[in-house]
Structure 1
Amino acid sequence: MGRETARLFASKGWFVGGYDVNEAGLESLREELGPKNCLVRRLDVTDRADYRAALDRFAPAAGGRLDILYNNAGIGRGGPFDQQPFEDIAAVVQVNLMGVLIGIYEAVPLLKATPGSLCFTTSSSSATFGMPGIAVYSATKHAVKGLTEALSVEFKALGVRVACVLPGLIDTPILPPGVAANAPKEGMFRAIPPAEVAQVVWDAYHADKLHWYVPPELAELDKAAALNPEAVRDQMGSGAFFTGPTERKAD
């Protein structure tokens, strides 16, 4: 999703920054977009000093502006909660929640200095209702959704907008084998191309909307969970969405 977002914004004349732990992927992005259109750098989002250094390097290259901070880094290690290594649980919390908190905290000065800036974060459809089999991942995405709501109020006084995207099943190579191919062809649980998420990021910058659902039908699940959580729980049944350990990373 991050790569498609960088492509879209660069195609519209924006200077973009790309950050990941995957250095080969970053170099590929730099070659594709061209060094005049982007700045890439390895970044561990759980390291405050590393994040600060990345922003310090990006700011002068972008004319002292940060129009959008897009927090998209994340991992998801699934499986039955009581069978997961605690190290996996801690890693998911550290990347998916602390990484977002660190990114926003370090970027606030630059966001404040940029008129019309947007702090945008990837939540998940699993933030509409806790998902069995990816309980910790789901919990971190609930936290991201709540953080977005709170900061959208706090940051209004700073002139900074805050929003998040709640994507469903996004068709990327990081999905477990066969998941996208076996997904429904229509409905809220269909496989979505990552370019649709990139378009939402673009749309979010030009709007003042808090939550963006991809696909939009997922908003109905959010409403249903709020009105009758027991019914949603019962519909999910006792089967986990992921029957064995699996890892997903934001791309």
Structure 2
Amino acid sequence: MKSVFITGAGSGMGREGAKLFHSNGWRVGAVDRNDDGLATLGRELGDERLWTRAVDVTDKAALDGALADFCAGNAGGGLDMMWNNAGIGESGWYEDVPHEAAMRVVEVNFKAVLTGAYSSLPYLKKTPGSLMFSTSSSSATYGMPRIAVYSSTKHAVKGLTEALSVEWQRHGVRVADVLPGLIDTPILTSTRNHSGGGEVPQSPEEFRAAAPKKGLFRLMPADSVAQAAWQAYHHPKRLHWYVPKSIRWIDLLKGLSPELVRGRIVKSLPGLMSDR
């Protein structure tokens, strides 16, 4: 029986990933700091082949312990796939985002991915064809304004993915990531806008109604990212998975002219340069 360990599995993309892999007969280790989200996942999927634990991914000892306990129940004590998915956001002009809030984004979005890589490697090495998979972002194709720190962490995840995809070949461990665009998950409507008084700007219903219906940044369901994770395991050569696939064009254009992409971003985001 194959196994996957998913961080940030209590909601959104991680939750959909847990459901997809579980439905295909995998043993799923699901961790999240949100115990309520894990509890509802457990009620939905049942106890068979599902292992859950409340874990703060910034706590290395807690993540180490969770991986050790989960993998102890796997064949040979190994792990087929590690999915570093947990992430948070803070928005606003760079100088408006409190330093402690920005550093928390770095802790969760990048440092915890580094920890996940260190912690999972011993188990991945035991399993032929294993994969370390991480959630990057479309904001890792070009630095995005008003989510500058978030965007920076996702660039870092992408860079780590590329480096380890070379290094870990000597261990027989594959490495890949996913770069989602606008995905219908709680982070979109729970992220504080520090340049707008710190409030959450829209309700989920308002956000969905206003979100683009077509184009690179059309609103996509969370299960589209889960499908990318599933495909990544079964297609060992591809390094970056874009959701939707057209997001890749930003990477291609930036390689030719980052100035062109900068200009297009300014033009494509109405109100970008306003104070709110």
Task: Please give the TM-score of this superposition, normalised by the length of structure 2.
Answer: 0.85
CA contact (8 A) 1:127 1:141 kept: yes
Quote the residue 1:116 is aligned against.
129
The answer as to whether partners of 2:177 and 2:239 remain within 8 angstroms in 1 is yes
AA at the equivalent of 2:247: L
**1:240 Cα deviation from its structure 2 partner:** 3.6
Which residues of structure 1 form unaligned runs of 5+? 245-251
In structure 2, the residue matched to 1:127 is 140
The partner residue of 2:210 within 155, 159, 182 is 182
Cα contact 1:134–1:241 (8 A) shared by 2: no
Structure number with the bigger relative contact order (C-alpha 8 A, sep ≥ 6) is 1
- Structure 1 segments (4+ residues) deviating >6 Å: none
Aligned length: 244
- Partners of 2:235 and 2:252 lie apart in 1 by 22
TM-score (norm 1): 0.94
In the TM superposition, 1:84-123 aligns within 5 A as: 84-123=97-136
Secondary structure of the equivalent of 1:41?
strand
CA contact (8 A) 1:10 1:37 kept: yes
Matched, 1:234 2:246: no
Number of the residue aligned with 1:193: 221
Deviation of 1:242 (Å): 10
- Contact 1:78/1:242 (8 A) holds in 2: no
Encode CA deviations 1:3-52: one digit per residue, 9 max, x unaligned.
00010111111110110000011011112111112100011111111111
Matches within 5 A, 1:1-251: 1-63=13-75, 64-176=77-189, 177=202, 178-208=206-236, 209-237=238-266, 239-240=271-272
8 Å Cα contact 1:133-1:242 kept in structure 2:
no
Q: 1:184 to 1:44 in 2, by over 3 A?
A: same
Say whether the 8 Å CA contact 1:123–1:141 is kept in structure 2. Answer: yes
Show CA shifts across 1:211-249 (max 9, x none). Answer: 0000000001111111110011112228549975xxxxx
RMSD of Structure 2 on Structure 1 (CA) = 1.5
Answer yes or no: is the 8 Å Cα contact 2:88–2:187 preserved in 1: no
Letter in 2 for 1:62: N
SS of corresponding position for 2:176: strand
Question: How far off its partner does 1:190 sit?
Answer: 0.4
Give a deviation string over 1:97-155, Cα, whole Å, max 9, x none. 10000011011100101111000000000000000000000000000000000000000
Give the secondary-structure state (helix, strand or coil) at the position aligned to 1:26. helix
Secondary structure of 2:56's counterpart equals coil
Of all paired residues, the percent bearing the same amino acid is 54
Give structure 2 stretches of 5+ with no counterpart.
Answer: 1-12, 190-201
Structure 1 counterpart SS, 2:209: coil
C-alpha distance 130-24 of structure 1, shift in aligned 2 (>3 A): same
Distance 2:16 2:83 in 1: 12
2-side partners of 1:97 and 1:2: how far apart? 16
